[in-house]
Amino acid sequence: MKKIIAFELALLGIGASTACSQQAFNDVDVDDFAKLIADTHVQLLDVRTADEYNEGHIDQALNIDVKQVGFLEEAMEKLDKTRPVAVYCRSGRRSANAAGMLTEQGYEVVNLKGGIQAWQLSQKPISTSQYEIDEFKTPGGKVARFHALVHSSIRLDVGERHIYIDPVSRLGNRTINYTTMPKADYIFVTHEHGDHLDIQVLPQLIGDSTKIVTNSRCAELLLAAGIVVPKENVLKNGDNLTLAEDLSLEAFPAYNTTEGRQQFHPKGRDNGYIITLDGLRIYVAGDTEDIPEMTRLAPSAEGDSQKAIDIAFLPCNQPYTMTPDQLVRAASIIKPRVLFPYHFGQTDVSVIPSQLKDIPVEVRLRHYE
């Protein structure tokens, strides 16, 4: 393992003089640390408290407090042993402790000398984003990072590409500042409701090469605001679109079925999306109930991994989308590897993990109120 990180350090032009030879992990200065974490293969870990993290952290860092009970167990659950770990704290002492613990477990680790204090003194950027980040490896070996922004708004990063799904800037007393985020390569909008389509925020995300994908009604509203969506990017249920060699999209039905709710999301108008990213299958359901079409997403009896859903975002706020019981039924049909209840507002979704305990689905609760 140490040979791997030594090789990465050498590739980045980081010589032996920047690494401590008296310990199992490496101490590096700010500039070399910055070079290292620019490689998306490297996992970035902030071991300070949550309050310290929220005051400012290095962008994309995972936060696990080294002083909390169960630090090592949580770190081993979330960190991939096949990839290097770059760790930091306030001054470098707590992170050195964490680095030693991780190294003993077989991780290859680099520690930032001087911590985030040295980082800031060198005028390196910090982020105050408090969004939870979940990281997955695609079948092709790429790293996909999901940022839980708010309600139905998701940011997905893979390498240098940035995908935003239903980006909105305000919901209740929560606001999202998109001016601090990268420009979008792709924006996917499911339907026209204000908690999914925020026309005012889109100019903050649109760059020279941004592609927007949506349904016909949203395309009309965007055109009226001076934002043109090419015809080929306007999808109806069942349409497929290839956006890149490793990125494709299927527009999936999303609608209400319960009597007295159909007016919220009529059948055939709105989209959910099945995103295939370098072999990783992601189902973003949009505003829907547990519709019959979901049986198409169930794993095949032959175990065809190309059809199975790896990650599902299922909504849960009656009367507009699903009740918790409906969500559990939908998850029981689809059987995603990982389930994120989202769009849940004030609905209590804490009961969902126990209701799915007999099904091989990992439920992750994030701040998608």
Please report the pLDDT score of residue 19 as a whole number. Answer: 42
Catalytic residue among 20, 89, 218, 316: 89
Determine the Cα–Cα distance for residues 229 and 353; give it in Å rounded to an integer: 39
Catalytic (active site) residue 316:
no
Contact 268, 237 (CB under 8 A): yes
- With a cut of 70, list the residues of the chain below it in pLDDT: 1-22, 128-129, 301-306
Is pTM beyond 0.85? Reply is no
Supply the Cα-derived Rg of the chain in whole angstroms: 22
H-type helices in 87-171, by residue range?
93-104, 115-121
pLDDT for position 88:
98
* C-alpha separations of 111 from 116, 291, 294 in Å: 11, 49, 46
Count the helices and strands in the chain (H runs, E runs).
10, 20
Angle at CA 238, nearest 5°, toward 237 and 244? 110
Q: Which helix (H) or strand (E) holds 5?
A: helix 2-11
- Give the integer Cα–Cα distance in Å for 241 and 3: 42
Q: What's the confidence (pLDDT) of residue 131?
A: 81
